[in-house]
Chains A and B, each alone.
Chain A
Amino acid sequence: MKLGKAPRIAYGEELLELAKKNQDIVALDADLSKSTMTCLIEEHFPERFFEMSIAEQNMVATAAGMALKGKIPFVNSFAVFLTGRAFDQIRQSVAYPVTNVKLCGSSSGFSDFGDGATHQSIEDLALMRALPNMIVLSPVDEIETREMVKFMVAHKGPVYIRLDRNETPIILDQDYRFVLGEPTLIKPGTDVTIFGTGQMVSLSLNVRERLEKEGVSCEIVNIGTIKPMKRDAIIALAEKTGAVVTVEEHNVYGGLGSAIAETLMKTKVPIVPIGVKDRFGQSAKTYPELLVEYGLTEDAVCEAVKEVLAVK
């Protein structure tokens, strides 16, 4: 798989392109603009960039005020600070009144591997998914990221997007078009469906190749929209193979695995979730080390496939 740009970079570039065409787009940042890439907006449109400093709660509610006056504010910080520190502001001033605020959680999952647990977000999807009126996006690569940023501008209402800090393999075709809630079939298979999101889709594709040699056929599906999900499409995909594995760089509670399980609750399809097993992260010298430590590996997914096939 060819390595593409980091989603945070693709996000920053796409937002700049859209800001050139749409005067209402503004960006707010909490002293992380060089990481979140809103430095591009600051450079080109300084009057539409707002440094809100290290005060996420005020930043989110200020963005809500801007939305009340017709702006399309993109609010930026690391995923863990944005969704954690400012959860109440997101609930009370964004989701509940349905203000047109776009929440951009950068350095999501373990992608800020060096900084440790304080900076790693393994619960952002759960937090945002629990809010009525909130759309929750998790792009797989730079192509999907760009498509989702376009969607965020076009859609009127609150959206959360989680953005990986690091380069990610290109999974989708250049002509991919994002449709809210729709699962994307990446590679077909007949024995088990692996629903993945973010970096875990490329890992699942490697698993598919490995298991093919053992005579197991895995279907790989990318879930870019964590909420809302197209229920019928998810059920159809799950029932086609009759077995499901979910893979995410997030706590097993409340993220993709939970969302799929809730969707498939009334079916008889068994599900084995792979994710962070309810532990906080820690620092590591490299990203792959963390994936091994937290069980987000090809081996773990292979085991999960075998486990689910045993009860199919």
Chain B
Amino acid sequence: MKAQYEIELIQRKARIMRKNIVLMLKTDKGHLGGSMSITDIVASLYFGVMNFDPKDPRKKDRDRFILSKGHSVLAQYAALIELGLMPADLLDTLKSLGSPLQGHPDMKLFPGIEANTGALGQGLSLANGIALAARLDREDFYIYVIVGDGELSEGQNWEAVMASAHYKLNHVIAFIDNNALQATGPIQRRFNTQPYLQKFLGFGWNAYEIDGHSVPEILQAVENAKMSTDKPTAIIAHTVKGKGVSFAENNPAFHHNNMTPEQYEQALKELM
């Protein structure tokens, strides 16, 4: 277990990341809700879990992070900027022509990004490929993936889930960001992709359910996953879309919407 001060550090980083997400977006349209729902997971990975050196982001034995739900990349940009990988003034260039802060991640432009994602459903396959190659090279780093709950309707995910189980890829650890909202409304009403736990268990994975905003639970789930010797692990993280900004929480409008200038000010105040 991590010490209390380490947990508090991660929580502090998550708060800074949320503020930076708001600063990145300003009053422009963008994926606020899904970025906020994964922020505590991303903060825990970068500041508490992963073997990742911002001074050498291509280091051979680094743990990999693949954000399958690429539209939530604001959370990853916020973490990488906080790690000092890119200058903080880049925050102002999100989605500007020529900026490395693309609307969806581009590994060619931004160090620390491992793959180009955003066409949904591809992250688990990419992670499996990295894991299979690492096994050939006898390297034992971990690959962390975040998949959206809405994204689970993409059939390729289940092809990949079968492949990870078949190849016993115990170094693939996937978080399911279960914020229960897709772009057009509640997942259970729009297109139900549940139940998650039973599905992953049925496909031969380990699976746990956690509070995706509890840093201790996130860290403990990763510890559990690392005990696995022959199965990949799904961590079903119950999250709140828009977490941390009161008017955006559980509000499907903020899947991809803009804040008014008043909302922007309020959001910054709430994240102080």
Contacts and interface: CB of A to CB of B under 8 A. Distances in A.
Interface in A99-117: none
Interface in A40-82: 47-48, 50, 52-53, 55, 57-58, 60-71, 73
B13 to A, nearest CB: 26
Contacts of B106: 97
B116 A62 contact: no
Given A64-B125, A89-B122, 8 more contacts: A50-B132, A55-B162, A61-B126, A66-B132, A73-B129, A92-B119, A93-B125, A97-B106
**Chain A to chain B: the 4 pairs with minimum beta-carbon distance, closest first:** A65-B129, A61-B125, A69-B133, A58-B159
Interface string A256-283: 0000000000000000000000000000
B125 A62 contact: yes
B163 A61 contact: no
Contacts of B160: 58, 61-62
A47 B160 CA distance: 19
Contacts of A62: 125-126, 128-129, 132, 160, 163
A65 B136 contact: no
Contacts of A96: 116
Given A52-B163, A70-B133, A71-B136, A65 B125 contact: yes
B159 A65 contact: no
Contact residues on A (Cβ < 8 Å of other chain), bracket: 20 to 34
A98 interface: yes
Interface in B93-142: 106-108, 114-119, 121-122, 125-134, 136-137
Interface residues of B, number: 29
A88 interface: yes
A126 interface: no
Contact of A92 (B114, B122, B129): B122
A127 to B, nearest CB: 16
A26 interface: yes
With most chain A CB atoms within 10 A of its CB, the pick from B106, B117, B126, B130 is B126
Contacts of B115: 64-65, 68, 93, 97
A29 to B, nearest CB: 13
B258 interface: no
A68 B119 contact: no
Nearest to A95: B116
B263 interface: no
B107 A69 contact: no
B156 interface: yes
A55 B114 CA distance: 23
With most chain A CB atoms within 10 A of its CB, the pick from B107, B129, B155 is B129
Contact of A26 (B134, B136, B156): B136
Given A48-B136, A71-B133, A93 B126 contact: yes
A64 B137 CA distance: 16
A65 B66 CA distance: 10
Contacts of A88: 119
